[in-house]
Structure 1
Amino acid sequence: MRSTRGIAHALAILLALTCTTSSTFAQQRGTDVGGQPARRQVTKMPKLVKFVEAEHPKDREGVAASVILTIEISATGEVANVTVASSTDPAFDAAAVAAARQFVFEPAEVDDKPAPSKITYRYSFTIQEAPAPAPAPAPAPPPAPAPPPAPAPAGEVDVEVRGRPRARQETHQTTIRAEQARKVAGTQGDVLKVVQNLPGVSRPPVASGQIVVWGSAPRETRIYVDGVDVPALYHGSGLRSVISSDLVSSIDLVPGAFGAEYGRGLGGLVRVETRTLPRGTHGYVGADTLDGSALVSAELGDRARVAIAARQSWLDRVLAWTSAPDVGDFFPIPRYRDGQIKATIDLRRREAVDLVLLGATDDLTRTVPSPDPASVRSEKTFTGFWRTYARYTKVAEGGDTTIVTPFFGRDTSELLQRFGPTPARLDVDSHRYGARASFRTRLGSRVALTTGLDTLGTSSKVDREGSLTLPPREGDIAVFGQPPGDEYAADTWRTNVVDVGPHAYADVRLGPVTFTPGVRFDAYLVEGSRKTPRVGLTPSIGFSRLETALAPRASARWEVTPRLALTTAYGTYHQAPEPEDLSAVFGTPDLALSRATHVTVGESLKITQTLSADVVAFQKSMKDLVVRSRLSNPILARALTQNGEGRSYGVQFLLRQELWKGFFGWISYAITRSERRNEGDESWRAFDFDQPHVLSIVASQDIGRWGFGARFRYASGNPRTPVDGSVYDARTDRYDPVFGPQNSIRIPAFWQLDVRVERSFPLGESSRVLVFADVQNVTNRENAEEIVYSASFRRRSVITGLPTIAVVGARFEF
């Protein structure tokens, strides 16, 4: 018998009895309140679907060996890292690691969702007996194929599901993993832009980063990154998000009726969880038509890891090379940049701290020239923010979870509008500080209790001058490009708003029913530098008051069958006035809290293991909304009132296919109605952002190293107020419009088809190049974005959106 080349085979049976979920990275889950209330449930083990045979070391012919490996698997099934857990020979170690890095798995699932995991894997090198010599010379037969994986001895393979504790699962919540969001057509690979395609979200106007959820105004929806409030999810142009996609783990959209952990908003909730930093050195460098970006993460010893990311736009320079110098006269060309730093320090087992710094800035300029200086229109905006926070996490042996996140930051916005000789300027500079803390524990086998404290302070300086009606607000009756009135005012004031929000909720499981009662109490300290306008040398008289609000919340989920669940949720919500509205000249210093009530009922059906259907009906009622005074000469320090009322109701549908054989996608459709009125009015009018019908169809398919995606969107046009005639004003030498019923017509409906194609090229064992083309509006449809009128208001036309645009790019990953 002589030795031949060794044939490798893997022993990779994942034993459910020895499968353990790491308490260090447990997840809070509202419906899992049995033995370990803070732990996630592993619902599927990773499965090896592509085995790669190792090269038997040439100087080890005739030698058998086994190498024990630790393999880290991503949520997409790719191998993220391989290390040797037990070594017998460095030559065999190197060969086994090289082969294991090329494995492909079906990912583990936690709570039926793909999740990263870590397994212990034995790779065995064996010896095969050579075939007997043939009478005549003949080529040696090829090696026998690798045998299938054989069962491993009990206790030999473990699975550890990794990840930081996440926020509890809300009753009506849509979660998208970053790995899938990156592949959605129309997002240009930007993970957070997938929010615009989720159920309950209205289509934003072109070049806008607004988020309108279930009929709530953009500033009524709260955005959190790791539980820290940030002012915006997107740059001002809406082309990019403010956080690197490679630092994002998942995105949650809760359109309404969220739990007691969160407050200060009448609308929805967007939560972004940053990614757990991997071991080793990883990163990417990318560039496309819009911008360039890069990220690098590395280990700093055994307990620390750090990642740094940055992005810089260059679309304005690209267009300057290819277009006329005045290309941005009608469409503002953005200039944006952002950066992030995240460091993770493992203090002890089940205890860690994340240190994070986020920052982003935007510049937008638009000028509409005219031979008449009185008709020149221009707009310049600058926005920026930064946040720094420390997130401490500790999970005790019994599953009790403690999370504490103090933070500090600054928000800056500058707006300068000019309509001929009439300027309007609004500058807001705010410092934000606060902390979020929560503790979750088990009270018996059926109850888990979470208590917490959510604090936020906002200290602002506001400087405003110009027209009383600029910038416009919801409910104003105007047409696009209409000059403001001739009135002029100016004011500079300071405000300080501090909210302390203790809260608690319990997850109670009674057989197939999970009930989550909760309560939140908010105490607002509202302070301002001026209660009345300054008159002559009259000194400023400030104000200070305390506003309190009790907000009960409750939700329930009934698992009727293993595949069918019924849900319902209820909550009351409050929001403090914005610093811009507390001016004694442009606003009202005495504004109190706005209030809302949310009610939802829904049904969730699991058709297959990866296909699900959800239906949710909702109703929102809003009171004490801030609106502009109807008086032509408002009462002193009463330019704004709280006479506004609102209501929103509708049904949304979601049919979603989770990742299955390289395919995922969803169809979402919402039928909603959003209305407003002033207190005392009998009739309701359409909300300025009302879109009764919104449809999104998303599909993505991976075939080998190719990826294909498509997205179709349809949305009703926003309402507008018609112009029935005009009156000539000889004093100003212009026509003034005569308006019809408010918001009684609509911009024509929008629809658009986008496609995406990508191709990856492996470079060695752990690097690759990814090239892609993301084409928006492939049919070149001329979608109307706004209704405009001639100078005499006798002719009406529309401003159309962007034509077919292809964003082409590439990135090198390592």
Structure 2
Amino acid sequence: MGSRVSLPALLLALAGGVLLWPWSGAAQGLPPTTGDQRAVEVDVHATDAGTTLSAEDARRLGLSTDGGEATLVPPVLLQESPAAYPEGLEGVDGEVVLELRVDEQGGVAEVDVTGGTSEKALVASAVAAAKGLRFSPATLGGQPVSVRLPFVYRFEAPLSESFMGHLTGTVRAKGTRRPLVGAVLFLDGSTTPAATTDSDGRFSLKVLPGAHRLELRAPGHAPERFEEVLVQGETLEVLYRLEPLVVNPYETVVRDERERTEVSRITLHEQELREVPGTVGDPFRVVMLMPGVGSLASGISYPVVRGSQPAATGFFLDGVRIPMLYHLLLGPAVVHPDFIDSIDFHVGVPPAQYGRLLGGAVEGRISRPREDRLHYTVYADLLNSGGFVEYPFASTGTSVSVAGRVSYAGLLIVPLAESLNESGSEYSRSRASFWDYQARVEQKLGQGRLRLFALGSSDDFGSTPIPDVANKNGFGVRTTFHRVDLRGTHPLAGGEAELGLTWGLDDFGFLGERTVARPQGIGVERVGEYTLRQLSVSARARWQRRFSGTLELTAGADVEHRRAAIVLRGTGLAPGQREDTLSDDPFQSPSSLATFSGGWTQLVWRPASPWTVSAGLRADAYHLVPGITHPALEPRLAVRHALSESLTLKAGAGLFHQPPTVLLHVPVLDTSGLRYGLQEGMQVDVGAEWKPFQGWEVGVDAFYNPLRRTVEFDLTEVALERRRIGLTGPDPAESGYAYGAELMVRHPLGDNWFGWVSYSFLRSRRHQRFARFDAEGNVVEWTRGTLPFAFEQEHVFNAALSYKLGRSITLGAVLHFNTGRPESGEITSKTMSPRFDEAGGPLWVRQDLDRVGRLPPFFRVDFRAAKSWALEDLTLDLYLDILNVSFQQEIYGYVYNFSDPKETGGRREHLREPLALPLIIPMLGLKAAY
């Protein structure tokens, strides 16, 4: 405590006072005095009209008032001068009454003590402080005058630290434990803030002992009231939590976005990755709803990018290529969603760092470890359960993150599979399961970081014989992979350098089981295994530096060594494999030793403010032992021109190479296929990006991809040996092209909703050799022609919307439409024509490939509903995610059969039955985040 000032100058204006006027008696015709001038004290009086001077006194002072009274305007305090409580004085209160003479300039000319306490220290402090007061001059009849006025200093003895109570604490958001910055605390009903939280959500204040009422307010949170009792001389530490008005709101966040230098890159963040209906909360599945993407079948999330094979698109995780992205084709991705911060989707002309790809590139960026406190999430749904734990060690700068999942997919998938396959179900049961893990240790090293990241995945599905009858067979497919990556980043030569080392193991195997009779009963034994195994070791380096505002250079190199072989145990043969092909068929008996090496550079140049030029060059060498080497040089160029702040034109082109592909990535086969040479294609893209309104983005692209050389095998050729003519020759290559247009209208996160609409027109053709058949199904000639590619879907439409309602309820829907693929027999059935033999019996004859039909179009609706709760330290989410809530059947092909004569009056008739399935994946789950 100090002093409190009382200013009775207003009392002077209301009740009267003393006016000092410099007066010369000679000037007024009165008897002279000893001096030229003297101060005359005159009473002033308060009236309803204000403070006045009588007409007689005004005349005596020489004021012209036209015979009336003169009005006094009292002084007004302009500058306070608080009196400090004297040091060394304790427990003494009091007041000092002063009389001040305020001169014509508003300064304090005299200070007289007229009453109050006799404590000399308080009097001295009041007198010293009064000399610092400043007023506006008093005026009388418009002229400055000097006045005397009373003034009071009141002193209150400051309370000692031992007497006060100390309240300190932290304010956090309920559920997320996020510190609330700028939260305001009000004490005992006061409208004046008593404290405000700092950047760590902390506050501190001293208050009198006793009970107090506190109110906390923070933007976006409901105000809360608390009651605390403080004890004299003690500190009370509190933790207050405020309820968010909306749990995990769709907020517009200004991020430090990487500048767009590519032709076509779509970046998705946060809820855009985890709350899209039909994706089961999996970030990578959102790519299926992007422009330029077709699909194998509904629910199978391997994208067909601009008419290429799914294996032509690469999936990366911070530069590490992932061999298998999804569990059981229909399941979640092999990486826990909490490890993914954002996803970049390069639908066309990806930068030079993405090599050995003929199609697009999808890169998941691992989230930076949080360094504040322990975080964990756990969830469970109808398909699997998983968890994520992250803990920072602040003393050493170390962060550890661990995640994993295990499935009980059989509860959902096995009954579905058995309902579709009744044959053999009496002696076998379907099975399906998977697991995965991820672990990260990241260490700060000065200005750099060192990270060890390991991940792995395993899938097992098939049929298991029931141990009731001997000599019954079962069959299974097992896939496993592991990756261990060590990466370091550090400033170097004015830029940032990265060095990485990766070890990998991939298995893709077929397992055979059989029931056997034992003395104790019939049991199940594994009788054979055929596994493709690949061991890889790779290294990569990257350096990036911005030389100026107009020039930025990124350069890198990578090398990968692969050792591939087969593992045979028991009666292990691949489906359809013959023992006489084990030595001469690279796909039936693959074994290889290969090294892929490459270097690349990407230069970004901004010659003028509206222009951005990104030029890249990549050189690769594909070496297969013994003595097969395929060099490849890939120039790439992207140009962007900003016509305005809202409209940008763009164009790009590049050359791309890739080893032969087999539908999806299968270990060993892409390496063994190098003896057939490389695939080569070019990508050309032009388009525009437009931001018509705040929060809206429009993108338009047109592309043309000439494919000079393609070597694309399907699983039928590889596993069942139904080979096209010329496949075993020196060059099974074909050629082709793809072209199309894409449109995307997007509203990113903000205003409690996000969504987009995308449309793609896609055509993909191949120049290939095919057979022509006569009316009886015999081959009459071989010819060449331009045919629709097996994965071509000409029209694809997607619309996604997610809206955050009140009470933390989220609703969302996805609409998907695509036209059917050709029924060419490569990944589906082949069109057959109804014919009759000489006896009039019905026949089905294969249709020429240039005359095959198409599968019907498919339309579906996905739905997602979620409710969130903010508990004390937990956020709880309950969600229902349904793929194909519209219950639409997708036709994957046809079975060409004949009717039962008993049902058709003794006649056998053509019977074309669709292979259709209303694939519906309902996912009910619960997730807790701490």
CA change 1:6–1:582 in 2 (3 A) is: closer
Between 778-787 and 789-798, the greater mean CA deviation after superposition: 789-798
2:891 is aligned, of 784, 790, 795, to 784
Contact 2:614 2:638 in 1 (8 A): yes
Quick check: 1:67–1:92 contact (8 Å CA) kept in 2? no
**CA separation in 2, counterparts of 1:598 and 1:488?**
42
Task: Tell me the distance in 2 between the aligned counterparts of 1:661 and 1:567.
Answer: 29
Change (3 A) 1:707 1:470: same
Tell me the distance in 1 between the aligned counterparts of 2:684 and 2:695: 28
Match of 2:308, SS state, is coil
Query: Could you tell me the TM-score, scaled by structure 2's length?
Result: 0.63
Deviation at 1:548, TM superposition (A): 0.9
Residue 246 (structure 1) aligns with: 338
1:746 deviates by 1.2
The 2-side partners of 1:786 and 1:78 are apart by 53
Tell whether the 8 Å contact from 1:715 to 1:751 is kept in structure 2 after alignment.
Answer: yes
Query: Shift of residue 780 of structure 1?
Result: 1.6
Where 1:781 maps in the other structure, the secondary structure is coil
Equivalent-residue separation in structure 2 for 1:651 and 1:183 (angstroms): 28
Change (3 A) 1:743 1:763: farther
C-alpha spacing 1:6/1:607, structure 2 compared with 1 (3 Å):
farther
Q: Give the 3 Å change call, closer, same or farther, for CA 633–801 of structure 1 in structure 2.
A: closer
Aligned position for 2:398: 304
Amino acid across the alignment from 1:241? A
Is residue 2:386 matched to residue 1:286?
no
Q: Map 1:639-658 to 2 at 5 A.
A: 641-658=731-748
Amino acid at match of 1:405: G
CA spacing shift, 1:740–1:725, aligned 2, 3 Å: farther
- Of residues 619, 626, 632, the one that matches 1:549 is 632
Distance in 1, Cα, partners of 2:667 & 2:436: 31
Structure 1 residue 667, shift from structure 2 partner: 0.3
Question: Which among 729, 747, 757 is matched to residue 855 of structure 2?
Answer: 747
Q: Does the 8 Å CA contact 1:755/1:774 hold for their aligned counterparts? A: yes
C-alpha contact 1:577 1:592 (8 A) present in aligned 2? yes
Contact 1:513 1:557 in 2 (8 A): yes
Q: Of 798, 801, 814, which residue of structure 2 is paired with 1:711?
A: 814
1-structure distance, mates of 2:793, 2:505? 33
**1: distance between equivalents of 2:499 and 2:677?**
30
Structure 2 alignment gaps of length 5 or more? 5-155, 172-178, 203-218, 222-232, 424-428, 467-471, 514-526, 584-588, 771-782, 824-829, 900-908
Contact conserved, 1:257 with 1:569, CA < 8 A, in 2? Answer: yes
Q: Show the 5 A alignment for 1:20-419.
A: 53-54=184-185, 64-65=194-195, 67-70=197-200, 94-95=238-239, 98=241, 106=251, 108-111=253-256, 170-206=262-298, 208-279=300-371, 280-302=373-395, 303-317=397-411, 334-348=432-446, 350-365=447-462, 380-395=476-491, 400-415=495-510
Secondary structure (helix, strand or coil) at the match of 1:642 reads: coil
Deviation of 1:776 after TM superposition, in Å, equals 2.5
Greater C-alpha radius of gyration:
2
Amino acid paired to 1:68: D
Mapped to 2, the partners of 1:672 and 1:581 lie a distance apart of 26
CA distance in structure 1 between the partners assigned to 2:673 and 2:923 by the alignment:
46
DSSP-derived class of the 2:293 partner: coil
Contact 1:671 1:692 survives alignment (8 Å): yes
Following superposition, the deviation at residue 252 of structure 1 comes to: 1.2
**Are the aligned partners of 2:512 and 2:528 in contact in 1 as well (CA < 8 Å)?**
yes
Give the match's secondary structure for 1:518: strand
Q: Give the length in aligned residue pairs.
A: 663
CA distance in 1, matches of 2:654, 2:632: 13
1:609 aligns with 2:694: yes
C-alpha separation between the residues in 2 aligned to 1:417 and 1:760?
Answer: 46
Offset at residue 740 of structure 1 (A)? 3.2
> Would the alpha carbon gap of residues 803 and 497 (structure 1) be closer, same or farther in structure 2, given more than 3 Å must change?
closer
Deviation at 1:515, TM superposition (A): 0.4
- Deviation (angstroms), 1:777: 2.0
For 1:397 and 1:633, the matched residues in 2 are separated by 55
Q: Deviations over 1:361-413 (max 9, x none)?
A: 111226999xxxxxx99863211111110221224695x12122211111111
Q: What is the alpha-carbon distance in structure 2 between the residues aligned to residue 600 and residue 378 of structure 1?
A: 49
* Partner in structure 2 of residue 83 of structure 1: none
Kindly indicate whether the alpha-carbon contact (under 8 Å) linking 2:185 and 2:193 is maintained by their aligned counterparts in 1: no
- Equivalent residue of 1:263, what SS? coil
| More displaced 10-residue stretch of structure 1: 255-264 or 558-567 | 255-264
Give matches, 1:681-692, under 5 Å.
683-692=785-794
- The 3 A distance-change label for structure 1 pair 487 and 795 is farther
CA positional deviation for 1:612: 0.8
1:571 correspondence with 2:654:
yes
| C-alpha deviation, 1:678, in angstroms | 2.4
- The reply on whether 1:770 has 2:877 as its aligned counterpart is yes
Cα shift at 1:315: 2.5
Aligned equivalent of 1:670: 760
Residue of structure 1 equivalent to 2:596: 499
Aligned match of 2:642 = 559
Residues 1:78 and 1:93: Cα distance change in structure 2 (over 3 Å): farther
Change (3 A) 1:395 1:71: farther
Report SS of the residue matched to 2:552.
strand
Q: Does the 8 Å contact 1:199/1:669 carry over to 2?
A: yes
Q: CA deviation at 1:437?
A: 1.4
CA drift of 1:281 comes to 0.6
CA distance in 2, matches of 1:788, 1:416: 28
| 1:522 is the counterpart of 2:630 | no
Contact 2:769 2:785 in 1 (8 A): no
What are the ranges of 5 or more consecutive residues in structure 1 without an aligned counterpart?
12-47, 80-88, 114-165, 370-375, 472-483, 528-542, 729-733
Contact (CA 8 Å) 1:619, 1:649: kept in 2 or not?
yes
Q: What CA distance in whole angstroms lies between the structure 2 residues aligned with 1:92 and 1:100?
A: 23
- SS for the counterpart of 2:761 is strand
SS in 2 for 1:356: strand
Distance in 2, matches of 1:343 and 1:193, equals: 27
Q: 3-state SS of the aligned residue for 2:271?
A: helix
Q: Do the aligned partners of 2:486 and 2:500 also contact (CA within 8 Å) in 1? A: yes
Q: Which of 580, 590, 593 lines up with 2:678 in the alignment?
A: 593
User: In structure 1, what residue type is equivalent to 2:435?
Assistant: R
What is the identity, as a one-letter code, of the residue corresponding to 2:927? Answer: R
Structure 1 stretch 646-655 or stretch 409-418: which is displaced more?
409-418
Give distance in 2, aligned partners of 1:199 and 1:248: 21
TM-score by length of 1: 0.72
Counterpart check, 1:618 vs 2:703: yes
> What residue number does 2:922 align with?
806
**Which residue type is aligned with residue 569 of structure 1?**
G
TM superposition shift of 1:432:
1.8
How far apart, CA to CA, are the structure 2 residues paired with 1:692 and 1:571? 24
Counterparts in 2 of 1:725 and 1:409: CA distance versus 1, 3 Å: same
Q: Distance in 2 between matches of 1:78 and 1:358?
A: 38
Aligned-partner SS, 1:235:
coil
Checking the alignment, whether the CA contact within 8 Å between 1:694 and 1:716 is kept in structure 2 is yes
Structure 1 pair 205–803 and aligned structure 2 pair: CA distance change class (3 A): closer
Deviation readout 1:444-468 (Å, 9 max, x if unpaired): 4411111111222222113699xxx
Query: Within 1, Cα distance between the matches of 2:660 and 2:316?
Result: 19
- 1:727, 1:737 within 8 Å by CA — same for their partners in 2? no
Task: List per-residue Cα deviations over 1:491-540 (Å, max 9, x = no partner).
Answer: 4442122111111121000221000111111112111xxxxxxxxxxxxx
Supply the distance in 2 between the matched residues of 1:676 and 1:609 (Cα, whole angstroms).
Answer: 43
TM-superposed CA distance for 1:7, in Å, is 13
The letter for the 2-side match of 1:440 is Q
User: In the TM superposition, what whole-angstrom CA distance separates every residue of 1:770-796 from its partner, at most 9, and x where no partner exists?
Assistant: 101112222222222222222799321
For the residues of structure 2 that align with 1:609 and 1:8, how far apart are their CA atoms?
A: 42
Deviation at 1:588, TM superposition (A): 7.0
What is the rounded CA distance, in whole Å, between the counterparts of 1:425 and 1:791 in structure 2? 38
Cα distance, 1:328 vs. partner?
A: 6.5
